[in-house]
């Protein structure tokens, strides 16, 4: 039969602490207790429904329960079985098995998150996976479930190990005597033939040991980024957020809409607490400075209640909570935590260092670009930044947007093209985006990679681009866009992030998830043969 197991937290010392309502012998619960090989077992069963569940025979046999009756005093199809198992050194932990609706009797903050997932990753054969679920945090939160018609290897599922958060895995264990199949998330679900409580206790010991083993190499990336779902830890991280807000510590704090917007339609923003002020861009420092003295202190309830609104030119508005609009990064006990779109994430220390090292390998471009003027839109900025006298051309024009072969939509080769005057200097293909939020930056990074791929691989695209560029800029040496496949080593793709304050490096200027995204795209561009650089524009 199928069993579902949870590992209770170490501070749960009695099974009653894990219940949604204290167990008793009254109308709601019946409790049975017994010993098994020195381990205490407690069974909780609920009343009042005539259905006889499939798991009843197993429970009834091992606890010598009376037969289910019909009428008012019959059992509801729900049960919780608690096992207090020894973990060595004189300590013990509670495990909980849920049957039917018994899972609703277990407090959600009483058990270890990702227990089942870690057990499965340590038990499963990586070449015998049947299904998995994952989430990707990028332009949108993308939740995906992938399953195959038969067990197969991990590579078939096409996961991006730097961005995908693995949530659930189903597969076949290496040792088939443990279970026929296992599924892991917070709980561990396994299918096995178990004929005694002694066997169930032994399985608990096996799963406890698997939970504490380091993840195998095939799954070592799972710990890079983990969603925090422990209510106590979330509460503590929220307190760190409030402390930083109240003390105006905004070095690693950003304010941004938690969804994709058409920025050409946005007239202004408003933020509760300073409703009379219109914000052209969302800026956390500007907001905090505009708060009246009577309203400068925050609580987490206020942050979750206050609204950020975006007003469009046609009179419509969108709104989100201030909490969901905040991007905040903080450290706790050597671990980096990131608040994004109302969710907390834990970033493994080695992975964070790896990303920071990757960013340090990206040089700063020397292209002469001006600062952004207040209220200036991107297309206006690109127009004003262009200066053909120094070899800087505006490519952010409708006439230069061309559809590649086999594509549905047109793309722009770049926003600005810099052809330096000196000998043997690289032509810089510059992509410009104002830094509103992670999704805008994600679009910027993707734009640079797609443009580079099309430039190398699509002769018809290059031919069309040559004709339009020569018509737009007769003085530009058209050899910059060759008909034959270009030599990528003669070009540098530059990511120009506009609207940066008090930042001297990419690590200072970009939220962590954007740093991950940029490092991935830079690595792919280098594989194509291009050099990569960045430009921070205040």
DSSP string, 399-419: GGEEPPTT-SS-EES-SEEE-
Half-sphere exposure for 392 (CA within 13 Å, toward CB): 14
Sheet containing 141-152: order of strands: 29-36, 39-47, 75-88, 91-100, 2-7, 188-191, 181-184, 164-173, 124-137, 141-152
Closest Cα to residue 393, out of 368, 362, 417?
A: 417
The Cα–Cα gap between 444 and 506 comes to: 14
Q: Which pLDDT tens digits describe the chain residue by residue (538 residues)?
A: 899 999 999 889 888 888 887 544 444 677 888 888 777 888 887 755 556 777 878 888 888 777 765 444 455 567 889 998 887 777 888 999 998 878 888 888 899 988 999 999 999 998 999 999 887 765 445 677 888 888 888 888 888 777 778 889 999 999 999 999 999 999 999 999 998 888 998 999 999 999 999 999 889 888 888 888 888 899 999 999 999 999 988 878 888 777 766 666 788 889 998 878 988 878 888 899 899 887 778 999 999 999 999 888 777 888 899 998 898 999 888 889 999 888 899 998 888 899 999 999 999 999 999 998 877 888 899 999 999 999 999 999 999 999 998 888 899 999 999 998 876 789 999 999 876 555 567 778 888 999 999 999 999 999 999 999 999 999 999 999 999 999 999 999 999 988 777 667 888 888 888 888 899 899 999 999 999 999 999 8
pLDDT at 508: 80
Q: Do the Cβ atoms of 194 and 255 come closer than 8 Å?
A: no
**Are residues 320 and 340 in contact, defined by beta-carbon separation less than 8 angstroms?**
no
Three-class SS state of 66: coil
Q: Are strands 164-173 and 124-137 parallel, antiparallel or unpaired?
A: antiparallel
User: What's the chain's Rg over C-alpha atoms?
Assistant: 29
CB 402 within 8 A of CB 468: yes
d(CA 256, CA 160): 25
Distance CA 84, CA 40 (A): 6
DSSP 170-232: EEEESSTTT-SEEEESSSEEEE----SHHHHHHHHHHHHHHHHSPPPGGGGGGGSEEE---HH
Neighbours of 28 (CB within 10 A): 15
Closest CA to 136 of 108, 170, 162: 162
The distance from CA 460 to its chain's CA centroid, rounded to whole angstroms, is: 38
| Distance in angstroms (rounded) separating the CA atoms of residues 272 and 300 | 14
d(CA 325, CA 307): 9
Query: What is the C-alpha to C-alpha distance for residues 148 and 39, in angstroms, rounded to an integer?
Result: 40
* Contact between residue 50 and residue 70 where contact means Cβ atoms under 8 Å apart: yes
Please tell me the pTM assigned to this model: 0.71
88: left (phi over 0), alpha (psi -120 to 50) or beta: left
Interatomic CA distance for residues 401 and 404, integer angstroms: 10
Q: Kindly give, in sequence order, each residue whose CB lies less than 8 Å from that of residue 249, ignoring residues fewer than 6 positions away.
A: 243
423: exposed, middle or buried (C-beta count within 10 Å: 0-12, 13-18, 19+)?
A: exposed
The torsion angle over the Cα atoms of residues 225, 228, 234 and 238, rounded to 10 degrees, is 30
- pLDDT, residue 221, reads 87
Q: Which of 348, 328, 357 is nearest to 519 (CA)?
A: 357
């Amino acid at each position: 039969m199928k069993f579902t197991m949870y590992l209770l937290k170490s501070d749960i010392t009695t099974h009653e602490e894990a219940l949604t309502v204290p167990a008793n012998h009254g109308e709601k619960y019946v409790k049975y207790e017994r010993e098994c090989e020195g381990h205490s077992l407690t069974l909780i069963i609920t009343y009042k429904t005539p259905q006889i569940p499939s798991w009843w025979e197993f429970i009834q046999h091992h606890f010598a329960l009376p037969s289910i009756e019909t009428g008012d005093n019959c059992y509801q199809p729900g049960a919780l079985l608690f096992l207090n198992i020894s973990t060595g050194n004189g300590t013990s932990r509670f495990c909980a098995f849920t049957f039917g609706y018994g899972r609703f009797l277990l407090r959600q903050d009483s058990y270890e998150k990702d227990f089942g997932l870690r057990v499965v990753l340590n038990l499963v054969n990586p070449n015998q996976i049947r299904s998995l679920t994952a989430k990707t945090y990028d332009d949108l939160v993308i939740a995906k479930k992938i399953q195959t018609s038969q067990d197969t290897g991990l590579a078939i599922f096409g996961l991006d190990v730097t961005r995908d958060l693995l949530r659930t895995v189903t597969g076949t264990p290496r040792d088939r005597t443990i279970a026929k199949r296992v599924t892991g998330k917070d709980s561990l679900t396994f299918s096995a033939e178990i004929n005694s409580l002694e066997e169930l206790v032994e399985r608990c010991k096996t799963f406890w040991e698997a939970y504490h083993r380091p993840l195998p190499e095939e799954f070592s990336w799972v710990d890079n980024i983990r969603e925090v779902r422990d209510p106590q830890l979330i509460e503590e991280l929220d307190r760190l957020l409030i402390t930083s807000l109240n003390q105006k510590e905004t070095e690693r704090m950003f304010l941004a809409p938690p969804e994709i917007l058409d920025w050409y339609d946005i007239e202004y923003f408003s933020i509760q607490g300073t409703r009379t002020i219109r914000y052209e861009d969302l800026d956390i420092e500007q907001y905090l400075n505009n708060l009246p003295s009577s309203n400068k202190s925050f609580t987490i309830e206020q942050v979750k209640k206050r609204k950020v609104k975006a007003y469009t030119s046609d009179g419509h508005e969108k709104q989100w909570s201030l909490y969901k609009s905040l991007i905040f990064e903080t450290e706790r006990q050597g671990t980096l935590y990131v608040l994004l779109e109302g969710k907390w994430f834990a970033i493994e220390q080695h992975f964070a260092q790896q990303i920071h090292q990757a960013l340090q390998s990206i040089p700063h471009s020397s292209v002469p670009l001006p600062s952004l003027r207040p209220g200036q839109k991107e297309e206006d900025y690109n127009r004003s930044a262009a200066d053909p006298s120094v070899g800087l051309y505006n490519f952010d024009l409708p006439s230069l947007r061309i559809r590649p072969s086999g594509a549905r939509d047109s793309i722009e080769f770049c926003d600005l093209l810099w052809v330096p005057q000196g000998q043997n200097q690289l032509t810089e293909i510059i992509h410009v985006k104002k830094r509103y939020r992670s999704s805008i930056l994600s679009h910027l990074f993707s734009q640079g990679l797609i443009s580079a791929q099309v430039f190398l691989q699509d002769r018809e695209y290059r031919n069309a681009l040559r004709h339009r560029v020569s018509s737009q800029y007769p003085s530009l040496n058209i050899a910059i866009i060759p008909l034959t496949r270009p030599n990528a080593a003669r070009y540098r793709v530059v990511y120009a992030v506009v609207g940066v304050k008090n930042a001297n490096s990419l690590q200072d200027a970009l939220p962590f998830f954007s740093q991950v995204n940029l490092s991935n795209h830079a690595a792919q561009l280098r594989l194509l043969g291009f050099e990569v650089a960045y430009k921070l524009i205040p």
